[in-house]
Amino acid sequence: MTDIAYLRQLRIPTTEDPLRILMSACLAGVTCGYDGTANGTYPSALRLLGYATARIVRFCPEEAAFGAPREMCDLHGGDGFDVLDGKAKMLSESGIDWTDGIIEAAHSMLHLAQNEKIELAVMMDISGACGSQVIYDGNRFGENKKYQIGAGVAAALLIRNGFKVISQRDFASLELLYHKLDPTHVIDSSRIDHHQTDWYLEYFKDSPKLNTTAQL
């Protein structure tokens, strides 16, 4: 779940002192995805590259750990917090245990965030490394593709260390961010975050994690 109150109190940045934003590299157009692409095009995130009042720091934890292209990988037995706690694993599509590598890369991303004094992270939802709202539950290419509420490993480590993370699908949060970066931007109050969508509320209606406030 996103932290709207945090976004509201973010400072108004200037070109001399831009807002320091950490982004999943693929959301910024870097071809670091498992298949050597940028995992699609997300205008809601790419827009952030155009603000002189934002300084974008890019990082791809999976590429740092396993290169690109690489096998697809997902979390098995829990979310990114569970991986950090030794209760779940990241496995490649062919079943290779990539848990240690992704934890090491998550720490590299955390050190980058700390060194760069990042004020907000905008990360790719669904990814077992970068997701912040929804990730796959097991192999996404398996027979019964499933989703779970939760963060990927790198996002979980950032959140656990006090950083706030939103995804490219958190449109209400992004509206607030656009307004901070350009006060002439009129906030579209009809936009909603991913956890407020009909799909999310229906899919996870029986999940004990529904309405939990992991980042608050």
Site for ligand SF4 (CB under 6 A): which residue of 1, 7, 32, 165?
A: 32
Closest approach of ligand SF4 to the CB of residue 201, in Å: 24
What is the C-alpha to C-alpha distance for residues 111 and 106, in angstroms, rounded to an integer? 9
What is the C-alpha to C-alpha distance for residues 130 and 152, in angstroms, rounded to an integer? 5
> How much of the chain is in helix, strand and coil states, percent to nearest 5?
35, 15, 50
Site for ligand SF4 (CB under 6 A): which residue of 2, 7, 22, 33?
A: 33
134 binds ligand SF4 (CB under 6 A): no
101 binds ligand SF4 (CB under 6 A): no
Judged by beta carbon, residue 159 or residue 179, the one nearer ligand SF4 is: 159
75 binds ligand SF4 (CB under 6 A): no
129 binds ligand SF4 (CB under 6 A): yes
Site for ligand SF4 (CB under 6 A): which residue of 22, 60, 118, 157?
A: 60
Two tokens, residue 154:
């790198």
130 binds ligand SF4 (CB under 6 A): yes
Strand, helix or coil for residue 182: coil
2 binds ligand SF4 (CB under 6 A): no
- Contacts by 71-77, CB closer than 8 A, 24 or more apart: 71/34, 71/96, 72/34, 72/140, 72/141, 73/34, 73/98, 73/102, 73/128, 74/128, 74/135, 74/136, 74/138, 74/139, 74/140, 75/128, 75/135, 75/136, 75/137, 75/138, 75/152, 75/153, 76/138, 76/139
- Using CB under 6 A, count the residues that bind ligand SF4: 14
168 binds ligand SF4 (CB under 6 A): no
110 binds ligand SF4 (CB under 6 A): no
List contacts with ligand SF4 (CB under 6 A): 24-26, 32-33, 39, 60-63, 124, 127, 129-130
